[in-house]
């Protein structure tokens, strides 16, 4: 078994999407305001939630689609679940290790580009109920299937690109917003701070994409190893040996 079917779980999409977490208190300094915005932009809870969902989907599709796996699962019940648990453990450890570093990189950039008052305005919007509803809805519909297929075709050379980000977003999420919420989003978008923030979207996405690619490079070999190790141990637990 190969572990490349797990790669796209690591993209979850969250690391490369403009997503929101809970609204914090108004920050007192530029540095703390930048850190708050970075955590809105790349929220740990939502990244993990989305990553787990995509991991689950891509793992199942790869396992179920491989010749012989159905027979192996019948012979050693729980085989797929054992491999999946091992992969998820690696994935969550990778997020715990790398997401804070990515958030810090975002915060440093934001601190250099925006004043404290500007960051407060950005936090007011991205921490609002409307901002959270918009971005969480879009992330909830993110689909990494095509990226997973690309990764499987050439796992050693796979790199997520900034252009992939928009392909992950779910435009249908706008239909879930009320007219008042849409008006609020539009007002922010055309405001001076909204326009300025939009001018930095490519740079912010690049930080996230670069961090995600590093996470994949560092994690994929461990995922492969741990999944194989877990599957082998599960087979051995039946006392039948690996066939």
Kindly report, residue by residue over 134-162, the tens digit of the pLDDT: 777 776 667 777 777 777 677 666 778 77
Rounded distance between C-alpha atoms, residue 230 and residue 232, angstroms: 5
The answer to whether residues 93 and 86 touch, using CB atoms and an 8 Å cutoff, is no
Enter the tokens of residue 102. 């990515």
User: N- to C-terminal Cα distance for the chain?
Assistant: 13
Rounded distance between C-alpha atoms, residue 117 and residue 115, angstroms: 5
Please give the pLDDT value at position 240: 56
DSSP letters along 119-177, please?
Answer: HHHHHHHHTSHHHHHHHHHHHHT---HHHHHHHHHSTTT----TTHHHHHS-GGGGGGS
pLDDT beneath 70: ranges in the chain: 1-28, 139-141, 152, 155-157, 166-171, 173, 240-243
Enter the tokens of residue 128. 């609002």
* Residues whose CB falls within 8 Å of the CB of residue 231, separated by 6 or more in sequence, listed in order: 1, 79, 82, 83, 86
Please give the pLDDT value at position 132: 79
Residue 6's closest CA among 58, 46, 53?
58
Which 8-state DSSP code applies to residue 186?
A: H
Residue 40's closest CA among 112, 113, 164, 124?
124
Please give the pLDDT value at position 52: 86
Distances (CA, A) of 24 to 82, 95, 106, 128, 222: 38, 22, 17, 10, 35
DSSP letters along 74-133, please?
Answer: HHSTTHHHHHHHHHHHHHHHHHHHHHHHHHHHHHHHHHHHS-HHHHHHHHHHHTSHHHHH
């Amino acid at each position: 078994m190969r572990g490349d079917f797990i790669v796209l779980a690591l993209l979850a999409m969250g690391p490369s999407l403009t997503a929101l977490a809970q609204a914090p208190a108004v920050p007192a300094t530029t540095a703390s305001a930048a850190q708050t915005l970075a955590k809105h932009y790349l929220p740990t809870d939502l990244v993990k939630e989305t990553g787990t969902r995509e991991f689950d989907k891509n793992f199942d599709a790869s396992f179920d689609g491989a010749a012989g796996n159905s027979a192996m699962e019948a012979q050693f019940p729980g085989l797929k679940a054992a491999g999946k648990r091992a992969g998820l453990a690696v994935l969550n450890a990778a997020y715990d290790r790398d997401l804070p570093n990515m958030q810090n990189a975002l915060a440093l950039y934001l601190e250099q580009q925006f004043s404290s008052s500007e960051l407060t305005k950005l936090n007011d919007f991205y921490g609002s109920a409307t901002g959270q509803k918009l971005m969480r809805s879009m992330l909830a519909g993110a689909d990494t299937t095509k990226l997973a297929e690309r990764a499987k075709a050439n796992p050693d050379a796979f790199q997520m690109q900034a252009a992939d980000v928009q392909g992950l977003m779910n435009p249908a999420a706008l239909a879930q917003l009320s007219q008042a919420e849409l008006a609020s989003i539009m007002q922010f978008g055309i405001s001076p701070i909204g326009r300025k923030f939009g001018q930095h979207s490519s740079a912010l996405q690049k930080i996230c994409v670069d961090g995600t690619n590093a996470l994949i490079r560092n994690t994929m070999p461990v995922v492969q190893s741990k999944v194989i190790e877990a599957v082998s141990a599960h087979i051995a637990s039946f006392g039948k040996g690996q066939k």
